[in-house]
């Protein structure tokens, strides 16, 4: 499975954090993802973390960056033929995926794609508590579906 977010956060920068994209980074986004993967039994060994724009910018990618990210994503997917599940987390990840599919329409047939909100706290910034809960429920349901798509690769599911 490939899990796509927007861009690497500050915890991925050497000197600031681990230097890697990881659910073990010391930041709230990584922590939430780790909890969701654990809750739905998705072992980290079956997840390739990636970003719509895979270089640190700490901002939403502009059109040129989005295109560059989509081109690199296509190259990565060519190198990873065993990946068959895509988890898009956030609008920027969804935009990047649409751009990649526009460049390579065969992606639609190769992958099972699941989209949800970004795991960062900002995705829950909404004045209506019911809308925040709807977003959390959708996210949890998407992680559950994604785990189900992994079949035998995601073992030991627990819904704690």
On whether residue 107 sits in a domain, the answer given is yes
pLDDT reported for residue 81: 94
On whether residue 49 sits in a domain, the answer given is yes
Range of the domain at 129: 2-153
Q: What is the pTM of this model?
A: 0.90
Terminal Cα distance for the chain, rounded: 22
On whether residue 62 sits in a domain, the answer given is yes
* CATH code, domain with 91: 3.40.470.10
On whether residue 104 sits in a domain, the answer given is yes
On whether residue 160 sits in a domain, the answer given is no
On whether residue 141 sits in a domain, the answer given is yes
Work out the angle between the directed axes of helices 91-103 and 63-79 (0-180°, nearest 10): 70
pLDDT in tens, the chain (160 residues): 999 999 988 777 777 777 778 888 788 898 999 999 999 999 989 999 999 999 989 899 999 999 999 999 999 999 999 999 999 999 999 999 999 999 999 999 999 999 999 999 999 999 999 999 999 999 999 999 999 998 755 444 444 4
On whether residue 115 sits in a domain, the answer given is yes
- d(C-alpha 146, C-alpha 116), whole Å: 11
On whether residue 30 sits in a domain, the answer given is yes
- Residue in this structure with the two tokens 């709807």, named with its chain if needed: 134
Q: What is the 3-state secondary structure (H, E, C) of 70-134?
A: HHHHHHHHHHCCCCCEEEEECHHHHHHHHHHHHHCCCHHHHCEEEEECCCCHHHHCCCCHHHHHH
Total number of domains in the chain: 1
CB-count exposure of residue 135 (10 Å: 0-12, 13-18, 19+): middle
């Amino acid at each position: 499975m490939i899990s796509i977010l927007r861009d690497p956060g500050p915890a991925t920068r050497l000197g600031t954090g681990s230097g890697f994209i990881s659910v073990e980074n010391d930041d709230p986004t990584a922590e939430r993802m780790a909890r969701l993967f654990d809750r739905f039994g998705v072992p980290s060994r079956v997840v390739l973390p990636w970003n719509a724009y895979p270089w640190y910018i700490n901002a939403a990618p502009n059109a040129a960056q989005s295109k560059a990210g989509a081109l690199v994503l296509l190259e990565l997917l060519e190198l990873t033929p065993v990946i068959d599940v895509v988890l898009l987390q956030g609008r920027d990840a969804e935009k990047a995926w649409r751009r990649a599919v526009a460049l390579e329409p065969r992606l639609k047939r190769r992958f099972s794609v699941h989209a949800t909100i970004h795991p960062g706290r900002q995705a829950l910034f909404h004045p209506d508590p019911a809308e925040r809960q709807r977003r959390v429920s959708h996210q949890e349901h998407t992680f559950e579906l994604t785990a189900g798509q992994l079949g035998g690769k995601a073992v030991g599911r627990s819904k704690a």
